[in-house]
Amino acid sequence: MRRRSTWISAAAAAAFALVGCVTINIYFPAAAAERAADRIIDEVWQLKPDAEKPRTEKPAAKQ
């Protein structure tokens, strides 16, 4: 009886060790990831093409 429980425990430990070694890798195309990152940055910073140009007008003087 004791020998059987030892064998079952060893088999269970081996099964857990095999399951624990599984790795799942997901690869994304670099260009698509870069475009997505740029879109997210634009949304966060709310950049517009006109906002990127430097202002040439001087601010009004304080009175």
How far apart CA 49 and CA 41 sit, in angstroms, is 14
| pLDDT tens per residue across all 63 residues of the chain | 678 889 999 999 998 888 888 788 888 789 988 999 999 998 888 856 555 555 566 666 665
pLDDT at position 52: 57
Q: For residue 63, what are its two tokens?
A: 């009175």
Rg (CA), the chain: 30
- What's the per-residue H, E or C state across the chain? CHHHHHHHHHHHHHHHHHHHCCCCCCCCCHHHHHHHHHHHHHHHHCCCHHHHCCCCCCCCCCC
